């Protein structure tokens, strides 16, 4: 259709090649700049992650220490409670599998007739006190 001379084809080819090189260089320059930014960001995230892992490890170690101290104190107190109430428990005189019904106390402030129940109540109370202590320690640690 349009007859073009060979010099014109050479000019068009040179322009196309130079345009391809220019676009390729711009793409490579943009990619390498963004890639450098990405590598820098990746290094920052890795450093921040490593620092956070160290903080978390220290926090876990501290919580384990708190847990162990509260647990040891709880077990010691439960053992003391069981020892205290074991000396008060009377054998079942009926000899059956069912517990006996204790009689009514003559006064309002007299101790209950079932020492096993009293011991169980003391254990549950100690569990609650130890749990509250643990929660207080963890709450104080997290508030810092």
Q: Does any domain span residue 102?
A: no
Q: Is 65 contained in some domain?
A: yes
Distance in angstroms (rounded) separating the CA atoms of residues 111 and 121: 13
Residue 25 lies in a domain: no
Does residue 17 belong to any structural domain of this protein?
no
Distances (CA, A) of 83 to 38, 89, 90, 117: 66, 10, 14, 14
Considering the domain boundaries, does residue 11 fall inside one?
no
Identify whether 136 is part of a domain: yes
Taking the chain (144 residues) in runs of 10, the rounded mean pLDDT of each run is 76 88 80 82 95 93 90 90 71 56 59 68 88 84 66
- Domain tally, the chain: 1
For residue 16, give both structure tokens: 């196309």
Question: Considering the domain boundaries, does residue 106 fall inside one?
Answer: no
Nearest to 121 by CA among 96, 88, 95: 88
The pLDDT, as a whole number, for residue 72 is 92
Residue 97: Cβ-neighbour burial (10 angstroms; 0-12, 13-18, 19+):
exposed
With CA atoms as reference, report the closest residue to 90 among 112, 122, 121, 123: 112
- Asked if the structure places residue 96 within a domain, the reply is no
- Whole domain around residue 66: which residue ranges? 41-87+113-144
């Amino acid at each position: 259709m349009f007859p073009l001379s060979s010099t014109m084809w050479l000019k068009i080819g040179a322009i196309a090649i130079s345009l391809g090189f220019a676009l390729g260089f711009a793409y490579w320059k943009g990619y390498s700049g963004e890639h450098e930014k990405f590598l820098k960001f990746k290094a920052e995230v890795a450093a921040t992650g490593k620092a956070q892992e160290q903080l978390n490890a220290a926090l876990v170690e501290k919580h384990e220490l708190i847990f162990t101290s509260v647990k040891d104190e709880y077990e010691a107190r439960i053992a003391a409670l069981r020892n205290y109430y074991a000396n008060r428990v009377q054998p079942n005189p009926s000899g059956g599998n069912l517990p006996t019904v204790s009689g009514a106390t003559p006064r309002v402030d007299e101790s209950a007739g079932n020492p096993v129940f009293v011991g169980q109540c003391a254990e549950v109370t100690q569990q609650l006190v130890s749990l509250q202590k643990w929660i207080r320690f963890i709450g104080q640690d997290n508030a810092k």
